[in-house]
Structure 1
Amino acid sequence: MSVWALGLNHTTAPLDLRGRFAFALDQIAPTLHSLRSSFGSHRHPQVEAAIISTCNRTEIYCASEHMALDHTVGWLAESGGVAPALLRSHAYALHDDEAARHAFRVASGLDSMVIGEAQILGQMKDAVRAAETAGALGTTLNQLFQRSFAVAKEVRTATEIGAHSISMAAASVRLASQLFEDLAKTRVLFVGAGEMIDLAATHFAARRPQSIVVANRTLERGEKLATRFGGEAMRLAELPGRLAEFDIVVSCTASTLPLIGLGAVERALKQRKHRPMFMVDLAVPRDIEPEVQKLEDVYLYTVDDLAQVVQQGQASRQAAVAQAEVIIDAGVQSFMHWLAQRGTVPLIQQLNAQADEWRTLELTRARKLLAKGEDIETVLEALSRGLTQKMLHGAMAELHAGDNAAREQTAQTLSRLFLRKER
């Protein structure tokens, strides 16, 4: 059984390219079906697959009897509408122990923009549940991910990997504080109502801004989030007309097209008499048109722009990272040992089936002899001799077959199997 992973993240690909390969959670099931169907049923009859898609990464994990990295690259490139060569130049392709190590590092927060952040673990669990619901998760990938979760838990328990992490939300508040002297006098708009916006709203609400508004496609969900922070909710359709009200805009939706365009921001600035606006686009693909960044009175940050802020304090985490890598190494070795053993399962099943067949034959013969009144000791002797002969027949035949070299190799193997001495 082979395991492989194909992905691109914040260190290998620019934001706009990552946006081409972003999949919302409700898109995972049909996307997995498309991927698995693309392998066909001849060479890859049962390909296991899972997709992790966040603002910082898109990764495909697969497992099958035969590795198919090139095919996976071709499929992903086609789904994103780019040439395979372009995708390869920005992607990483890993297999077996390298794929396992990468999964463990991702789950542990070591491959994140924010070293030690915990959000990725929840996102991975969501991805695994989606793959399981879609019927795409088999024994091998299930083991890979369950072990990655266990390793991540051990890393957090045994090290201080998350002690100094600065989340995207916290970084946004820090940057906003540099622009506005007092956040308590600002009006904040959150676009979307997902996990990232929930986290950002929590951080901004702690600074007690003058008002909080949540704009969401589904008003009921927006109201639920806004109520928690004493704010109000509005529909996305109202956004262009009310944009000028807000000093701070934080957006993160699953929209495939920008929700806030250059023209809308220009009109908002004019109404604000060019008072500055602080905008954070945490979405991939973008929620805010990139041209907005060129406007003189707008301070727009994307997930990639926040990288420099969240990396502060990285030196203090290096000792914890080293400890985490040791834990991950042990986890990888354990998984690869399990994977190697999986390769012998069919043979073990065949051996057990053959042994059961021999046992059934000899028991049937023994019962017939007992029914005829044969002596019990004689019957037991015949049963044991029959089983012994059946088990040794193949070995004896191999010893008399082949040339001298083959017979010598067979003799050594049989000695290891049958002539082991108890220690």
Structure 2
Amino acid sequence: MQLFALGLNHHTAPLSIREQVAFRPERLVQALADLVQAKPVKEAAILSTCNRTELYFATQQPQYAADWFAEYHRVALKDISPYLYTFPQRDAIRHVFRVASGLDSMVIGEPQILGQMKDAVRQAEEAGTLGATMHKLFQRTFSVAKEVRSTTAIGANIVSMAAAAVHLSERIFERVGDQKVLFVGAGEMIELCAAHFGGAKPRRLTIANRTQSRAEDLAARFGGDVIRLDQVGEALAGYDIVVSCTGSPLPIIGLGMVERALKVRRHRPMVMVDLAVPRDIEAEVVGLDDVFLYTVDDLAQVVDSGLESRQAAVVEAETIIDERVDGFLHWLDSRDTVPTIRALRSHADELRRAELERAMRLLSRGDDPQKVLEVLSHGLTNKFMHAPTRFLNDAEGDQRGDSAELVQRIFNLHTDH
């Protein structure tokens, strides 16, 4: 059974493709169960974020995972194949280590992906799709990510997606502090954005979320207020900046809703930042004259600016990762010998017990203990040496030299020539 990674990300696929194959969080556990149940895939985890959707799995038939992936999302495999990558074992392990360490992110070194991967592992554990191999893989993954972040400058001066959203807003409005900001959603990304925008002290900060209590908690932290999600349409005109990131499978803010808001605003400009995959804001909104709509792909142009300063750290991180990949592969290889080691120890223990029982019988009938020990030691020696001696005697022709060398290595023998 081999490890594989299959998926697509912001390097290989545009947002319009990524949003077609994103997994809804509430369906992820069931999707994992479906992937693994009575199928060639034995172990699996799924990482689905705004920038990537990836399957990590163990199988002998990797093509099955690609077929399942396309079928689950009801897309033709031929339509997404140009964007898909499949990494075999060594490359898959290296890829997982790089992703967790932030080396494959839109923002090099960003820390959020590590938390997202930990969430993916928790969901796989909940689904019961992690076996010993992948459990060990993710243990090592988190250890490698910690080592990279603690021993290199990979996270120094990081430009986060949230900071990029503020930067884009400042391109349109000279001061964010003079604007009213609406956040749609209340997840981790919105929390980060609220922290960044909150630092600019906007005139008003509002949270709209499906779960009212979560919105209230977040608003309280940043001195904001709360509206219901179904009030966004009627309230939209009152906000200059809108940042949205929910798990909705369909857009929450439609073209008509924005058009009506612009009329009320008398065409004063609006900045809209859509960080969701699938998108929360209809793509057609970008065509409106007074709206500046940015998606996660647009943010890439902002966050790339800090890449050069982190190149030295990237080289260091890659070196660490390559070494840890070799270490994990060694662990995987060693697992192949475990059944043989167990069988060898079991066989040796059977021989030991047989000779011990014989010695106990001799002692119980009154034999000299010293002679009994001699018999015990000779018996153990003869039985332990029987198999390798027979192996050497049965070797023929060219096999004799190889057999002798193998036995010498096993028993660490040094022969005189």
What pairs with 1:230-379 in structure 2 (closer than 5 Å)?
230-379=223-372
**Kindly tell me: are residues 20 and 142 of structure 1, through their superposed partners in 2, closer, same or farther at Cα, counting changes over 3 Å?**
same
The CA distance in 2 between the partners of 1:48 and 1:277, in whole Å, is: 46
Letter matched to residue 33 of structure 1: A
Once the two structures are TM-superposed, the CA of residue 236 in structure 1 deviates from its matched residue by 0.9
Matched-pair contact (CA < 8 Å) for 1:276–1:299: yes
The 5 A counterparts of 1:165-184 are 165-184=158-177
2:395/2:403 contact within 8 Å kept? no
1:61 aligns with 2:56: yes
- Alignment-derived partner of residue 98 in structure 1: 91
Aligned-partner Cα distance in 2 for 1:359–1:255: 66
Output aligned runs, 1:71-110, within 5 Å: 71-110=64-103
Name the structure 2 match of 1:215. Answer: 208
**Contact conserved, 2:9 with 2:18, CA < 8 A, in 1?**
yes
Runs of 4+ displaced beyond 6 Å: none
Establish whether residue 51 from structure 1 lines up as the match of residue 52 from structure 2: no
Cα deviation, 1:234-281, whole Å, max 9, x if unaligned, reads 111111111111111100001111111111111111111111110000
**Which piece of structure 1 moves more, 144-153 or 18-27?**
18-27
Q: Is residue 32 of structure 2 the alignment partner of residue 32 of structure 1?
A: yes
Percent identity reads 55
Give distance in 1, aligned partners of 2:225 and 2:315.
45
Query: TM-score, normalized by length of structure 1?
Result: 0.95
Task: Return the letter of the residue paired with 1:413.
Answer: L
In the alignment, what sits opposite 2:392?
399
Per-residue deviation, 1:17: 1.5
How far apart, CA to CA, are the structure 2 residues paired with 1:73 and 1:328?
27
Q: After TM superposition, give the deviation of residue 390 of structure 1 in Å.
A: 2.1
Task: Report the residue type matching 1:50 in the other structure.
Answer: A
Q: Does the CA contact (< 8 Å) of 1:97 and 1:332 recur in 2?
A: yes
Q: What's the offset of the Cα at 1:38?
A: 5.3
What is the alpha-carbon distance in structure 1 between the residues aligned to residue 343 and residue 24 of structure 2?
43
Residue 191 of structure 1: aligned partner: 184
Letter in 2 for 1:13: A
Deviation at 1:421, TM superposition (A): 4.7
Question: 3-state SS of the aligned residue for 2:183?
Answer: strand
Q: In the TM superposition, what whole-angstrom CA distance separates every residue of 1:110-151 from its partner, at most 9, and x where no partner exists?
A: 100001111111111111122122221122112221212122
Q: Which amino acid aligns with 1:323?
A: E
Moved more, 295-304 or 86-95: 86-95
Aligned AA for 1:52? L
Aligned length: 415
**Would you say 1:416 and 2:403 are equivalent positions?**
no
Q: Distance in 2 between matches of 1:5 and 1:160?
A: 27
User: What is the DSSP-based 3-state SS (H/G/I as helix, E as strand, rest coil) of the residue aligned with 1:20?
Assistant: coil
Give the aligned residue type for 2:43.
E
**Partner deviation per Cα, 1:301-337 (whole Å, 9 max, x = no partner):** 0001111111012111111111111111111111111
Which amino acid in 1 is paired with 2:413?
R
Question: Which ranges in structure 1 are unaligned for 5 or more consecutive residues?
Answer: none
Distance 1:384 1:49 in 2: 51
Answer whether contact 1:100 1:332 (CA < 8 A) is retained: yes
Structure 2: distance between partners of 1:308 and 1:227? 33
1:25–1:127 CA contact under 8 A, matched in 2 = no
The letter for the 1-side match of 2:255 is L
1:164 maps to which of 157, 161, 169: 157
Are 1:22 and 2:22 an aligned pair? Answer: yes
Per the normalisation by structure 2, the TM-score is 0.96
1:145-177: per-residue Cα shift (whole Å, max 9, x none)? Answer: 121212211211221111122111100100101
Q: 1:225 aligns with which of 199, 218, 228?
A: 218
Task: Decide which moves more: 375-384 or 265-274.
Answer: 375-384
Q: CA deviation at 1:359?
A: 1.3
Deviation at 1:415, TM superposition (A): 1.9
Out of 126, 134, 137, the position equivalent to 1:141 is: 134
Instruction: Answer with 248-257 or 353-362: which moved more.
Output: 353-362
Task: Specify the alignment match of 1:390 in structure 2.
Answer: 383
1:396 is paired with a residue of what secondary structure? Answer: helix
Q: Is the CA contact (8 Å cut-off) linking 2:184 and 2:209 kept in structure 1?
A: yes
Q: Displacement, 1:401?
A: 2.8
Query: Shift of the alpha carbon at 1:83?
Result: 2.1
d(CA) in 1 for partners of 2:414, 2:169: 73
